[in-house]
């Protein structure tokens, strides 16, 4: 009561104009501080990327031939939209690895899976391989503990004893490291205990598939009692940004007050009212901006005319670069002891997704053909894959450039990039006919896509490809069915169409076996 009475008397003793100015200042500041906080959150949300986070490395960025969306995943806010890691962003199949090796005692994190999704927690990662635990809502991919080779082939698999994981709900996975054992808990229930040879200092990470897999609130407990807590929130410079925003709001308020006084001749309560309303408008605008940014963060840029033009320019540049490289490295006519095999296709044929050049399936096939002692022939496998194009581009370059190379065999791997099955059939027919007239043996490949991709349209194109090949007596190899049957032998895909090192290896093995018999009949 004494304090209240004292404050009351103090306020009564203050000049009314001073009290009014004080109230005005408090009201303005009470609006400018929230404005600064909202602007700070808006900016930090917009800048919340894996690149700015700095703690996690995207495996796709380290590939020898970068796949689509790899750069955008790390530099755009989609991956960390709403302050959580989204492994399905930018074409999915994302893998992120923590930057440092860790002496692990326990790792726990929250995760959410969409329908037909799965999440791999990767640990004990080194050059020769890695271990992992997969939690799945996809009927094709069981929840399991696994070990894998360095290229992603599963070496050992053990099913987890878990109840059905509900899609769309958050769960918690805890991994406890106990010497030579790893113990897994799902929502505080033990679901498995596994033996293994685990490195003292390990790399850990996460990998998803095509569908939604979110990760948040990661706790990493190390043997030295240090704890790493990752929330994927961007707070770098938040206080400074807030202060700068508040100062800007003050300056703007002063300018508005000055203009109203000089131009409109306003002062007193009316002037104060307009300035306060201006600050309310600032807060309202900031709220709208923040709300828009929160809504936009998971969204992708819309395709417009300028983007289509840039893509078309990029395609033509890809054609020019491929033609220039092949002209430089391969003379127009091979010698009598050389058998040339030309591979036509797009980015999959190019080997996009391989970590190194010698792991592209075309290079693997060439190495295997030349390692055989059954013939004195030297094999040149020429990779004429051009990223981003369709069969209309390819037939033009084939007619103008590739026929000059005088190959004995042309392997045609198409399907994904063509929008019209009829046009694809027409262009394939022309390529086959030109090849046969030139004495070149064509082979058609039905271009594979991931099992997780919707393939009805792709299969319609495969049907016309098969009919086109069979009507001309040309071998047709169904690579899509072949890789579909091997979908869970390891990590095959970096997205719905680009193969990992393990996928490249499987692809090469199949084509090599088919080519061996065909080549025996040619030479």
Q: What is the pLDDT of residue 303?
A: 55
Distance CA 352, CA 63 (A): 9
Architecture of the CATH domain 84-230: Sandwich (2.60)
Q: Are 316 and 386 in contact (CB under 8 A)?
A: no
Rounded to 5 degrees, what angle do the CA atoms 250, 24, 281 make?
55
Q: What is the pLDDT of residue 11?
A: 39
β-sheet bridge partners, residue 185: 174, 190
Report the relative pairing of strands 227-230 and 213-222 from DSSP bridges. Answer: antiparallel
Rounded to 5 degrees, what angle do the CA atoms 163, 198, 195 make?
45
**Among the residues of 372-500, which ranges form H helices?**
391-400, 421-437, 456-471, 479-485
β-sheet bridge partners, residue 441: 409
Axis-axis angle for helices 501-522, 361-370 (nearest 10): 40
Q: Are 509 and 151 in contact (CB under 8 A)?
A: no
* Contacts of 401 by beta carbon, 8 Å cutoff, 6+ apart: 323, 326, 327
Local structure of 218: helix, strand or coil: strand
pLDDT exceeds cutoff 80 at 165: yes
Burial of 417 (0-12, 13-18, 19+ CB in 10 A): buried
- Residues 201-208 have a mean pLDDT of 96
pLDDT digits (tens, 9 = 90+) for 230-246: 999 988 878 888 888 88
Axis-axis angle for helices 456-471, 421-437 (nearest 10): 30
pLDDT digits (tens, 9 = 90+) for 459-516: 999 999 999 999 999 999 999 999 999 999 999 999 999 999 999 999 999 999 999 8
Q: What is the pLDDT of residue 521?
A: 75
Burial of 306 (0-12, 13-18, 19+ CB in 10 A): exposed
Residues of the chain with CATH 3.40.50.1110: 305-522
Helix (H) / strand (E) containing 34: helix 16-46
pLDDT digits (tens, 9 = 90+) for 415-437: 999 999 999 999 999 999 999 99
Of residues 125 and 127, the one with the higher pLDDT is 125
- DSSP letter (8 states) at residue 405: G
Distance CA 120, CA 122 (A): 6
Q: What is the pLDDT of residue 485?
A: 95
DSSP collapsed to 3 states, 305-317: HHHHHHHHHHHHH
Q: Does domain 305-522 have CATH number 3.40.50.1110?
A: yes
Q: What is the pLDDT of residue 12?
A: 44
Which structure tokens are listed for 419?
């929008």
Q: What is the pLDDT of residue 3?
A: 41
Q: What is the pLDDT of residue 230?
A: 96
pLDDT exceeds cutoff 50 at 8: no
Q: What is the pLDDT of residue 133?
A: 97
Q: What is the pLDDT of residue 299?
A: 63
Residues of the chain with CATH 2.60.120.560: 84-230
pLDDT digits (tens, 9 = 90+) for 128-148: 999 999 999 999 999 999 999
For residue 249, what pLDDT band results from cuts at 50, 70 and 90? confident
Of residues 43 and 49, the one with the higher pLDDT is 49
For residue 2, what pLDDT band results from cuts at 50, 70 and 90? very low
Q: Is the alpha carbon torsion for 43, 49, 51, 56 positive or negative?
A: positive
Q: What is the pLDDT of residue 55?
A: 96
Distance CA 103, CA 96 (A): 18
């Amino acid at each position: 009561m004494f304090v209240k009475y004292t404050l009351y008397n103090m306020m009564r003793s203050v000049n009314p104009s001073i009290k009014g100015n004080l109230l005005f200042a408090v009201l303005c500041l009470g609006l400018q501080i929230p404005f600064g906080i909202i602007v700070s959150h808006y900016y930090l949300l917009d800048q919340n990327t894996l690149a700015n986070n700095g703690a996690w490395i995207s495996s796709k960025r380290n590939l020898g031939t970068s796949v689509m969306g790899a750069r955008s995943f790390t530099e755009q806010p989609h991956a960390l939209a709403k302050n959580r890691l989204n492994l399905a962003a930018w074409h999915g199949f994302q893998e992120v690895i923590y930057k440092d090796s860790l002496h692990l005692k326990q790792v726990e994190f929250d995760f959410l899976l969409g329908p037909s999704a799965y999440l791999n927690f990767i640990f004990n990662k080194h050059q020769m391989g890695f271990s992992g635990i997969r939690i799945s809502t996809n009927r094709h991919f069981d929840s399991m503990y696994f070990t894998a080779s360095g290229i992603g082939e599963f070496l050992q698999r053990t099913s987890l004893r878990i109840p059905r994981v509900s899609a769309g709900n958050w769960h918690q996975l805890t991994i406890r490291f106990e010497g030579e054992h790893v113990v897994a808990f799902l929502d505080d229930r033990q679901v498995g205990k596994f033996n293994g040879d685990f490195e003292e200092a390990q790399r850990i990470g996460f990998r998803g598939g095509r569908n939604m897999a979110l990760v948040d609130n990661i706790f990493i407990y190390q043997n030295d009692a240090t704890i790493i807590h990752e929330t994927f929130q961007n707070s770098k410079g938040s206080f400074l940004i807030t202060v700068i925003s508040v100062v800007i709001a003050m300056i703007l308020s002063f300018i508005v007050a000055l203009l109203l006084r000089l131009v409109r001749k306003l002062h007193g309560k009316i002037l104060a009212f307009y300035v306060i309303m201006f600050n309310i408008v600032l807060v309202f605008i900031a709220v709208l901006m923040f709300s828009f940014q929160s809504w936009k963060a998971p969204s992708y840029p819309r395709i417009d005319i300028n983007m289509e033009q840039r893509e078309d320019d990029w395609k033509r540049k890809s054609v020019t670069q491929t033609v220039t490289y092949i002209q430089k490295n391969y003379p127009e006519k091979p010698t009598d002891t050389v058998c040339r095999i030309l591979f036509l296709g797009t980015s999959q044929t190019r080997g996009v997704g391989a970590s190194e050049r010698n792991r592209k399936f075309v290079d693997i096939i060439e190495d295997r053909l030349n390692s055989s002692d059954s013939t004195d022939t030297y094999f040149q496998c020429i990779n004429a894959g051009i990223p981003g194009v369709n069969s209309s581009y390819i037939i033009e370059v084939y007619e103008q450039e590739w026929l000059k190379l005088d190959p004995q065999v042309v392997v045609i791997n198409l399907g994904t990039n063509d929008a019209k099955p009829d046009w694809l059939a027409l262009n394939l027919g022309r390529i086959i006919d030109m090849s046969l007239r030139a004495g070149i043996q064509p082979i058609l490949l039905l271009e594979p896509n991931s099992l997780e991709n919707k393939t009805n349209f792709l299969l319609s194109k495969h049907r016309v490809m098969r009919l086109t090949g069979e009507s001309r007596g040309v071998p047709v190899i169904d690579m899509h069915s072949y890789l579909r049957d091997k979908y869970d032998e390891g990590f095959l895909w970096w997205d719905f169409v680009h193969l990992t090192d393990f996928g490249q290896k499987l692809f090469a093995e199949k084509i090599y076996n088919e080519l061996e018999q065909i080549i025996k009949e040619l030479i």
